[in-house]
Each structure stands twice: as structure tokens, then as C-alpha cells.
Amino acid sequence: MPKRFLILLAVTALLALPQSQEPPAHQKLIPTLWVQSAVEWQASCRQTYLSARGALDEALRDSRWTAEISPSSLDPVRLATLPPSVVLDIDETLLDNSPGQARQVKAGSGFDHKLWNQWVSESKAQPIPGALDFCRYAASRGVTLFYISNRDAAHESATRTNLRGLGFPLPDGLDTVLLRGERPEWTSEKSTRRAHVAQTHRVLLLIGDDLGDFLHGARTTAAARRQLIAPYTQFWGRKWFILPNPSYGSWEDALFTPTIPTDLNEQLRRKLTVLDTAQP
Ligand SMILES: [Mg+2]
């Protein structure tokens, strides 16, 4: 076989090889990377918890201070008799689940119950920057920490193992890990659990990463959410402290009301349609 022909064959074979593969587009790639690599994310979290610590000191000096807005939480005489507490969410508030999110990105999947259950059962989530120092400080000041999470009640043991292993305060003799479904009325709407805590404790601060950690009815349209928070502007940074979570939450679900498409490409298309380009 002529040498020239062999060279031609080799070049043709090389050209036929697949070019470097395009990475699959995944909606969670950038937010997951931000959480895992940006010191800006770490600084935002520390800033929130340091501010919360200052607010806690102020709250402890004021026997009428409450972060709860239900009417039963507003009676000053009753409030003064109750022991102090702080109510915190768990996921993306105390625990960083970005490795679990990264598994979904690599698998090219949307929220996957099997992957999530596996991640939670490993009890390996690391603390959100600043969370541990804050919780230990609050406990040292005699404040009871209640953890209200939409993790399923079946995950309580793994969740406690994770929290305890990191050193988050978990008192004996009082259930402070209040998960979804532990009681019939404890749905993903957290207000019933906040009311449960407010029966026995004065809630000094609420700390979370989702509007649902603060207000009833967060799962609604984006416009309704803006109306929902309007009366509470003065609560942020004083009684309510929020952590940045760009990866998921009721903010994202609100883009899809009334129903979230199961197809990931359809989700992306819908997200593109709500982008504001400030064009007439
Ligand atoms: Mg959360």
C-alpha cells in the first residue's frame, strides 16, 4: 500500500474521532461551584452568623424580644416567662449539602430521591461557615436551639449523627430536631413547627436559607412572595437572618408555578423566558 495512501487513511481516521465532548448543560453547575469554591460564599455565611450573634446579645437583654409573628408569640407578659430559643433550618443553613448537589450535576439528573437519601444517610455534610461558632455561643448563653428541617422524619437518626458529630448542641431529654412528618400536622409548611416551639419558648431569632424558614405561604408565585415579605423589611438582619442558597429553594419553585416541569430542558427554557433583559 502506498505510503501516501496510508497517511491519508490515518488523517481520515483522526478526523473521524469524536471531538472533545461538550459538557452537558446542568442548571446546578454554576451555583454548586459557587458554594464549593467561592470565598465570597464563605464570607457571606460568616457575615450572617456574626451579625446574628450580635442580635442575640441584644435580644437576651430584652425580655419582650421575639422573632415570631404569630399572635400567641406577641403577649409581652407571657413572653417574659418563657426560656429563650433560636429556631434554625438545617440544610444550607447549618449543613452544606453541596457534595450531594454535585452528585446530581455529575449524574445529569434533577432532584433525585435515591441520591439524596444516600447522601443524607452518610451523615457527612460539613458545617456552613460560622454556624457552629454561633450555635455553641448561643448554647453557652443558655439559649435552646431548635432545628426545623424539611428532611423526612425517617432521616432523623442520620441527621442527628451528622449534627452531633460536628458538635452542634443537642440536649438530652428534649427533642430539638423537628423534621417533616414527625407529626401529621408537621408538613413541609414550617409554621406549625414554629408555633410548636413558641408554645414553650421565646423565639429570639429565626435563621434559614429559604423564605419558608420565616413566613407561612412561601411556596407561591414570585409576585406574591414579594408582597408576602413587604411588611417585614425591618426583620432582616435584626431578628431574621438568611444564608445565601443559589442552588435551590422556594425561590426557584416560584419560577414554575403552578407546576414544576419534570423535563430539565423544559425547566431551562422556562427559566430563560423569565429572565429580565430590560428590553421594551
Ligand atoms: Mg434549608
Per-residue pLDDT of the chain in tens (280 residues, 90 and over written 9): 566 655 555 555 555 555 556 666 799 999 999 999 999 999 999 999 999 999 999 999 999 899 998 766 678 888 889 999 999 999 999 999 999 999 999 999 999 999 999 999 999 999 999 999 999 999 999 999 999 999 999 999 999 999 999 999 999 999 999 999 999 999 999 999 999 999 999 999 999 999 999 999 999 999 999 999 999 999 999 999 999 999 999 999 999 988 899 999 999 999 999 999 998 7
Ion ligand 1 residue ranges (Cβ < 5 Å): 89, 91-92, 209
- Domains parsed from the chain with CATH numbers: 29-273 (3.40.50.1000)
Distance 152 CA to ligand 1 centre (A): 13
Task: Give the angle 43-48-49 at the CA atoms, nearest 5°.
Answer: 100
Distance 26 CA to ligand 1 centre (A): 21
Where do runs of H (alpha helix) occur along the chain? 3-16, 29-37, 39-60, 76-81, 98-107, 113-122, 131-140, 156-166, 191-200, 222-229, 250-253, 264-274
Phi and psi at residue 236, to the nearest 5°: -65, 130
Strands of 177-221, DSSP E: 177-180, 202-208
Q: Model pTM?
A: 0.90
Distance 31 CA to ligand 1 centre (A): 15
The torsion defined by the Cα of 95, 267, 224 and 98, in degrees rounded to 10, comes to 10
